Structure 1
Amino acid sequence: MADLTGTTVAFLLTDGYEDSELTSPWQAAVDAGATPVLVSPAEGNVTGEKGHSQKVDLPVSEAKAGDFDALMLPGGVGNADALRLDTDAVGFVRNFFGQHKPVGVICHGAWILADTDVLAGRRLTSFPSLQTDLRNAGATWVDEEVVVDQGLVSSRTPDDLPAFNAKLVEEMGEGKHEGQTA
């Protein structure tokens, strides 16, 4: 496992996220030595689909991709749908790609990528219901446990979390990827 000491990871989410898709990658980042920060358009706490509640550390309207080393986008239908409609969230995500930084997306978390203009020529996976949106945004969608494409790490469901977490930590340890572009 990569040593991520000194690495700061933004977790972008709002109410309605899939609980395990926050808590499991968060713990993997902590276990590797990274500092996770919960970024959200919501204030106070955010609550997952199954009731997990966690404090928001930073409003997305004040967050800057330059202050972080990597980005993690958990899924959850309500969370993903709300984020893609938030212009601050869309801009925040796009800036990680423009700065060539690692980005992890799982399940419905990939939905916002269809609105960021970063998918042309990229290969990824997601929850199957997103494949048409992601293909329409220029991506090659595949049905695999975990897909890595130049710093973009993607998986389908919570069942994929062990493989996803390992690859996410590995990509964060590698740092910037020139092929990770907006």
Structure 2
Amino acid sequence: MKRVLIIATDGFEQSELMQPKQSLEEGGFEVIVASLEEGEIKGWDEDDWGDSVAVDITVSKVAESDYHALLLPGGQINPDVLRLNETVIDLIKQFDGASKPIAAICHAPWLLVEADIVDGKTVTGWPSIRTDLENAGGEVIDRQVAVDGNIITSRKPDDIPAFVEALKDALADVEEDALEEA
């Protein structure tokens, strides 16, 4: 079974974690939620706090080699906190270095900027971060999904179906036993 790691913390955009997680699980993928601390993380649902999600593992215990892909949900709070965490940024760089799919939606491409993996890539994101993406060397487009190599980006919750489909397509190209060979 292919394994997808989601990295998030309090303030993740609820729909951008819950819907992809459910869709991937229904598609036969194992989905693991990692965060900065054990316990639960609380989502942000439009204009107030939303539901909590159980944390399966802390980022300090994550090994990139145990996963086939990385998913980064947005929200304003979540990626702004995560981009200050060296372990999170190092994990993103490791996934990129291994050419594994990295899917980031809404404000989450901020994390790709912080990991310095946007330069020369075609990307999209929430309108307020597009200047940051451009300043990091990305070619910014306004589409539901931008796929450039192993980097998959989307703009907003309305794009979730196309975003998840792009990640599933990328995972179809990844060998299931790739982890054992790594």
> Structure 1 residue aligned with 2:42, among 44, 47, 54?
47
What's the TM-score, normalizing by structure 1? 0.91
1:139 matched residue in structure 2: 138
> Structure 2 residue aligned with 1:22, among 17, 22, 29?
17
Distance (whole Å) between structure 2 residues aligned to residue 175 and residue 123 of structure 1: 21
* Structure 1 unaligned residues grouped into runs of 5+: 1-5, 177-182
Distance (whole Å) between structure 1 residues aligned to residue 143 and residue 20 of structure 2: 18
User: Which runs of 4 or more aligned residues in structure 1 lie more than 3 Å from their structure 2 counterparts after TM superposition?
Assistant: none
Counterpart code for 1:71 = L
Considering fraction of residues, name the structure with more strand: 2
Q: CA deviation at 1:36?
A: 0.2
- Partners of 1:17 and 1:49 within 8 A in 2: yes
Percent identity for Structure 1 against Structure 2: 39
What's the TM-score, normalizing by structure 2? 0.91
2:178 matched residue in structure 1: none
Helix, strand or coil at the partner of 2:117 = coil
- Partners of 1:106 and 1:154 within 8 A in 2: yes
Helix, strand or coil at the partner of 1:143 = coil
- Partners of 1:15 and 1:42 within 8 A in 2: no
Distance (whole Å) between structure 1 residues aligned to residue 116 and residue 153 of structure 2: 17
Please list, as runs of the form range in 1=range in 2, the aligned pairs for 1:100-179 lying within 5 A after superposition: 100-175=99-174
- Partners of 2:11 and 2:78 within 8 A in 1: yes
- Partners of 1:125 and 1:147 within 8 A in 2: yes
Cα deviations across residues 49-86 of structure 1 (Å, max 9, x unaligned)?
12111111111011111110000000010001000001
Number of equivalences: 171
Helix, strand or coil at the partner of 1:161 = helix
Q: CA deviation at 1:151?
A: 2.2
2:73 matched residue in structure 1: 74
Counterpart code for 1:39 = A
Distance (whole Å) between structure 2 residues aligned to residue 122 and residue 28 of structure 1: 26
Q: Are 1:36 and 2:31 counterparts?
A: yes
Q: CA deviation at 1:109?
A: 1.0
- Partners of 2:96 and 2:150 within 8 A in 1: no
- Please provide the CA RMSD for this pair: 1.0
Q: Are 1:12 and 2:7 counterparts?
A: yes
Helix, strand or coil at the partner of 1:175 = coil
Q: CA deviation at 1:42?
A: 2.7
Helix, strand or coil at the partner of 2:12 = coil
